[in-house]
Amino acid sequence: MNTTVPIIPASPSRFLPVVEFGRSADDLLVARVGDTAFAMVPTWAGRHFLATGWRLSRPLDTWRRDDFYGHSGDVADEAAFRALVAENAEHQRERATLRRREIASRARTPWGVSQGAMTYGEGVLCHSTAGHGGFQLAPEQNACVHPLLRSSSGFYEEDAEWAAVAQALPELFTAYERRLSDETLRNHWPEAWEAIHGCALQPGESRERDRQIFERQHAADWIVISAVSSDRFPGFVETTATPGAKRGPSVERRRFLVPSVEYEPGLFGFVVDPAWHQDLTDGTG
């Protein structure tokens, strides 16, 4: 899954989920693990992503694409799909052995008034609110968080900051959650990850570190900040680019014509080659 750990009600300690695989009514590869449903949904160029649903009690062969609402990252093929499902089953089994429990709460949080919380352990609560949620740590538990990741308030939002809690208090999390935590820290806070592990991240191991490298390497290059398929020039994309993809009223902008087959922005943006891509800025194009 991507950088957010799903906050799902804890299962009773006796609960061991049954794993089922099948085909949906619209021929998607699907699976069910306890109350969690999965589907391998095709996108484009032979790619797929992992879609998730919740409490689909009907037979698997009656499920359809519209039953799934979650997007949990890319999945390469059927073998990868089955491995992710198996990992989730183990996660649910392990979570059932942890001493998490739901409690009523009306505490004030940075995301609004709590509508309920899950206790993960002494001094560790995970709040749900109308729009967001996250962890609240008591001072003693907050002191366990690495200084580069520590929040002075003791609150950690659920999208990414939760990973700091899992890293600091691994005994309260499953192996699956710990893996997601490590991935989240690498991608969002590479400096902290390197300090914790005492080693340097290599290219391709951290999205944030790769972004930093890209920005240093292309600080003076023209990077596309917007693009649209051209009506005037079929088969081309009309782009607007700035040096280093900077934005602001004083930043110079130029327009370039890029062949559609060549235009692939990538993770951090498309680098224009002024010697190759036609400059439309002067209006002569």
pLDDT in tens, 52-79: 999 999 999 999 999 999 998 899 999 9
Tokens of 276: 């190759």
CA-to-CA distance for 160 and 134, rounded, in angstroms? 9
Residue 99's pLDDT is 87
3-state secondary structure (DSSP) of residue 112: strand
Give the chain's mean pLDDT: 92
In sequence order, what are the residues at sequence separation of 6 or more whose Cβ sits closer than 8 angstroms to the Cβ of residue 145? Answer: 137, 151, 164, 165, 167, 168
Q: What is the dihedral of CA 258, 260, 266, 269, to 10 degrees?
A: 30
Is the pTM of the predicted complex or chain greater than 0.75? yes
User: Once rounded to an integer, what is the mean pLDDT over residues 245-261?
Assistant: 95
Is residue 222 a contact partner of residue 277, using CB atoms and an 8 Å limit?
A: no
Q: What is the mean pLDDT of residues 213-233?
A: 95
Question: What average pLDDT does the segment 220-232 reach?
Answer: 95
Nearest-angstrom CA–CA distance, 230 and 235: 7
Compute the average pLDDT of residues 195-200.
96
The answer to whether residue 10 scores a pLDDT higher than 70 is: no
Q: How many residues does the chain have?
A: 285
Amino acid (one-letter) located at 7:
I
CB 87 within 8 A of CB 33: no
Nearest CA-CA partner of 257 in 220, 246, 283:
283
> Could you give the percent of the chain with pLDDT greater than 70?
93
**Confidence (pLDDT) at 282:** 75
Percent of the chain past pLDDT 90, that is, above it, reads 88
Neighbours of 283 (CB within 10 A): 6
pLDDT tens per residue across span 132-183: 999 999 999 999 999 999 999 999 999 999 999 999 999 999 999 999 999 9
Is 80 exceeded by the pLDDT of residue 200?
yes
Residue 15 has pLDDT above 60, yes or no: no
**CB 149, CB 175: distance < 8 Å:** no
Whether the per-residue pLDDT at 268 is higher than 70: the answer is yes
Q: What is the C-alpha to C-alpha distance for residues 46 and 222, in angstroms, rounded to an integer? A: 31
At residue 13, the pLDDT reads 41
DSSP 52-109: EEE---S-GGG--GGG--EEEEE--SHHHHHHHHHHHHHHHHHHHHS--EEE----EE
